Structure 1
Amino acid sequence: MDGSSRLISRRQLLAGSSAFLLIAPASVAAKQAAADVEGNTATAKSLVDTIEPILSYDTSYNLQLAIQNYEAFIAANGSWEEPTRETFGLKLGVSRRAAALLKRRLMINGDMPLEKRVNDEFDAGLDAAVRLFQARHGLVINGVVDEATFYALSVPTDYRLNQLRLNAQRIDYWAKALSDRYVVVNIPAATIEAVEGAQVVQRHVAVVGKVDRATPILNSKVHQVKFNPYWTVPKSIIEKDMIRYMNEDPEYLTKFRIRIFDGKGNERQPTDIDWSTDEAVQYTFRQDPGPENSLGRCKIDFYNKYDVYLHDTPQKSLFSENARFYSSGCVRVEQVETLISWLLRDNGGWDLPSVQAAFDSGTQDNVALNVQVPIHTTYITAWANRQGTVSFRDDVYGFDAQGLVSFG
């Protein structure tokens, strides 16, 4: 059975997943390990969040090296063994035979230095290796073999090799459109990179589209930032969500300062609508600016036919989750103020304090970019950096399973 026929769906793996170069220099993380778990976390992040962009020709070259290593391993050993049930729940301080088996596995991945003998202790070195494995998965870094980590360990070797090959082709295809300065939204990782001069200058956690309301894949240009915007609710959300919310709580619109307008611009009251039908889709629903606005304090517009955009959000807690696929296609950005200051730098007078002041003012203001910035929403589930760190993510939209390279 080849790798393409053993692809694992999101429904089988409950969270995003990642593995590493089999001879990865990333094993330096274990060498630097100490009892200080915060230090282990910082080291893991430093090996993953390097300056190389996910979408670049350099990444394509690094992926070719990873492919060679995976092919060599499979030729010599076949697939690595799946974790045993006893592996689940392992954490620092636990003594269990499964800890020794986990060490062997993480040595294969390059997360720990090779040793001839291992003991059953979940020690500082294993803690560092598990945190590095989690960082490469894009998982919450806690040093515990929790559910998401266990399932990531269960992904077979040939599945990972297939991801490497497929994504090398994707990156080669998309890299042709790159300029010196651009923004990349990587949907499977739910992250954003601001890139300039072939280096990542900012990296942001994101929330992207649900499986049934996917964020579209496209190339475009950011042309405008809206401060303290109104939110006009898409008809699809009125139909799929708003009617249900109102049936559950008739005060929903009032609580969230969402007003209703008819086709002539006249404001209507929620009591004017029969919520037992789909009558509501005939009206325009608009949410006033404010802290509870679904767009938060800003909206970043780029040209597209899907009516999607980047934006702030009042739901900050979602950024700390493993799988951040909650939106209806738009992309929510953590620490969006720093991205805006970078996008508006050619407008003059815009820096981080001035962006924050615009947020705090509550005043609606639309600012057109003097220099429009290219943006690419992409689908990369495997990439590598020059340190030898290979990261993987879950095939949340099933595009790996379909073998898709281009998305025209």
Structure 2
Amino acid sequence: MPLSHLRGAALAGLVAACFGLAAPAHAETELTAFKQAVAAAAVQNDAIAAFYRDRDYAPFWTSADAAARRSALLTVLGEASEQGLPAARYDPARLVETFREARTQRAIGRAEVAAMRMYLDYAHDASRGVLTPGAVLSEIKRKVDRPAPAALIEGLATAPSPLAYLRGLSPQSPEYARLMREKIRLERLIAEGGWGPEVGGGKIEPGQSGPRVIALRNRLIAMGYLPRTATQTYDATLQKAVQAFQFDHGLSADGIAGPSTVQELDVPPERRLRSVLVAMERERWLGDVRGDKHVLVNIADFHARIVDKGEVVFETRSVVGQNAHDRRTPEFSDVMDHMVVNPTWNVPRSIAVKEYLPQFKNNPNAAGHLMLVDGAGRVVTRAAVDFTQYTASNFPFDLKQPPSNGNALGRVKFMFPNPYNIYLHDTPSKSLFNRETRAFSHGCIRLGDPYDFAYALLATQTDDPRGFFAAKLNSGRETRVDLEHPLPVHLIYRTAMGEPKGRMQYRRDVYGRDAAIFDALQAAGVALPEVQG
């Protein structure tokens, strides 16, 4: 059997049988040859070079007592494709060949460094992702805290169990495990032929019958939403199955197979697999540092949640940035440390000069709800200003909207200070929360239930969060309320996400970010046969 067909433990067993490398011979010339080969091969990697230099070039992978380490490495390299990693980048079969062909001390030295390079490549990708987020899309501001190569080498060198250490490099979150299970399920499903014929066409409603109802029925059966049945009518059981599908895909769960529902039903399993692969990469970027209690905003899901020890304790609908180059909500993490009750809206300069300045040129009294403020903080009378003399580059005023029920930020905003001027806030535009797709803002996140969100945050620092908040609100004054227990905020973008109990949830790629990430993963070698074409 070709080595390329072997994976995991099978490769480890092969190398154990055929890899008879001994420690470098005791002859000084052979020791020198081994050291010279290691030094030459490691010269372009400072961490590897320093590691071997500090241990006087003693072997790490190729000594007789390194069998467990070698076996563990080959095992996880053989499992790399299971995690959606670019397996060819650290091909264990190639490493086995390198080991097998090493018969001189110089060759053994080169094999030593080849194994170390392959380990670091794998550890880099498995622990914090294959891609650099901002290099794929500038709107992804997430800073990935990658472990230093020296720390990865030291961690493996001191690990009681090399295999446990290597497997522990991947995210240990329940979400990552759920995504891996879904990946395996979809791959098996694709190999078996998928979900069968598409439904196609327009709306199908309860009470109808005919070929399209049969196609809808068969699709839902194949997807696991409906037990086997011979019904040819859109009956109550079929309607309930459609509602369950709609719920799992972020659609209005009305039980009617409208155009958007049919479109999502017809998404092939290959595309769902792409969403899972991208979600696994995003999970690697996020790592295991959510915090026991944190705020999680899934941009693609249009929801904000408070999660405490893995349990969602609060959830509300959200509105996110419009799908425009300067309005899409960025992805990053920070720490929420205060809220502002009865906030003033300090209009961002980009909005002031792009949206309001042209209005003022046509009508100085336009947008009368906004105050014009000069550099000294004084309110300026509109009639005294000739707006036609100003451009986006020389407009000298700030625009502010004082606290009110009609304030663009509503009656409360939640702050996690960041360089992108993004925060969570109330809004007077409540009707937007009834939409299925909710991408309407300038970039900040509007909350459907901001008061309840405030109560949930304040519950850890007062026995009467409602009364406390109401007192601040009813004062009418802008008031900062510090959180005694600041908590992490993670703005994420997931089109595939697991439920602790239930099916995988899927969402539409509203910004097209997942498509760009998948293309980058393919270019890096992640593309699998099942998702090509």
TM-score (norm. length: structure 1)? 0.79
Residue in 2 that maps onto 1:71? 187
Say which SS state the counterpart of residue 143 (structure 1) adopts. Answer: coil
The alpha carbon displacement at 1:313 in A equals: 0.3
Corresponding residue of 2:273: 161
Correspondence for 1:29: none
Q: Any idea what the Cα deviations from partners look like across 1:98-156, whole Å, max 9, x if unmatched?
A: 111101101111111123x231x111111111111111121222222223212222322
In the other structure, the counterpart of 1:125 is 237
- The amino acid of 1:386's aligned partner reads P
CA gap of 1:360–1:89, structure 2 versus 1, over 3 A, is: farther
Deviation at 1:249, TM superposition (A): 6.7
Contact 1:106-1:129 at 8 Å conserved across structures: yes
Establish whether residue 173 from structure 1 lines up as the match of residue 285 from structure 2. yes
- Secondary structure at 1:347's aligned position in 2? coil
Does the CA-based 8 Å contact 2:361-2:387 persist in structure 1? no
Instruction: Label 1:248 to 1:141 Cα distance change in 2 as closer, same or farther (>3 A).
Output: farther
Does the CA-based 8 Å contact 1:56-1:171 persist in structure 2? no
**1:330-351 CA deviation, whole Å, 9 max, x = no partner?**
1101111121122223333551
Is the Cα–Cα contact under 8 Å of residues 127 and 143 in structure 1 kept in the other structure? yes
Q: Distance in 2 between matches of 1:186 and 1:338?
A: 19
Structure 1 CA distance for aligned equivalents of residues 395 and 256 of structure 2: 47
CA contact (8 A) 1:80 1:157 kept: no
What is the rounded CA distance, in whole Å, between the counterparts of 1:275 and 1:189 in structure 2?
43
Larger radius of gyration: 2
Separation in 2 of the partners of 1:316 and 1:113?
A: 39
Paired residue for 2:448?
334
* 1:241 positional shift: 2.0
1:355–1:260 CA distance, 2 compared to 1 (3 A): same
Q: Decide whether the 8 Å contact of 1:222 with 1:300 is kept in 2.
A: yes
Asked which structure has the greater RCO (Cα within 8 Å, sep 6+), the reply is 1
Is the aligned partner of 1:368 residue 2:460? no
| 1:156 to 1:277, Cα distance in 2 relative to 1, 3 A | farther
- What does 1:22-61 correspond to in 2, within 5 Å? 57-61=173-177
Contact 2:301/2:495 (8 A) holds in 1: yes
Following superposition of structure 1 onto structure 2, how do residues 315-330 of structure 1 map, counting pairs within 5 Å? 315-330=429-444
Question: Would you say the 8 A contact 1:231–1:293 is kept in 2?
Answer: yes
Match of 1:242 in 2: 356
1:57-101 deviation digits (Å, cap 9, x = unpaired): 22222222222221111101146432222xx22122223321111
Q: 1:191 to 1:128 in 2, by over 3 A?
A: same
- In structure 1, the gaps of 5 or more residues are 4-54
* Aligned-pair identity (%): 30
Report the RMSD for the aligned CA atoms in angstroms. Answer: 2.4
Q: 1:163 to 1:226 in 2, by over 3 A?
A: same
- Structure richer in strand, relative to its length: 1
Whether contact under 8 Å (2:197, 2:215) holds in the other structure is no
User: Taking structure 1 as reference, are residues 335 and 248 closer, same or farther at Cα in structure 2, changes over 3 Å only?
Assistant: farther
Aligned partners of 1:56 and 1:250: how far apart in 2?
58
SS at match of 2:460: helix
Q: Tell me the equivalent position of 1:136.
A: 248
1:358–1:64 CA distance, 2 compared to 1 (3 A): same
Runs of 4+ in 1 over 6 A off after TM superposition: none
SS of corresponding position for 1:112: coil
Residue 390 of structure 2 corresponds to residue 274 of structure 1: no
Matched, 1:348 2:458: no
- Cα deviation, residue 398, structure 1: 2.2
Instruction: Tell me the equivalent position of 2:125.
Output: none
Matched with 2:132 is none
Contact 2:195 2:223 in 1 (8 A): no
2:364 and 2:478 map into 1 onto residues whose CA distance is 29
CA distance in 2, matches of 1:92, 1:122: 5
1:253 match: 367
Distance 1:216 1:354, change over 3 A: same
Q: Distance in 2 between matches of 1:379 and 1:56?
A: 19
SS of alignment partner, residue 317 of structure 1: helix
- Mapped to 2, the partners of 1:252 and 1:125 lie a distance apart of 55
In structure 1, distance between residues paired with 2:338 and 2:502? 38
Cα displacement (A) at 1:277: 5.3
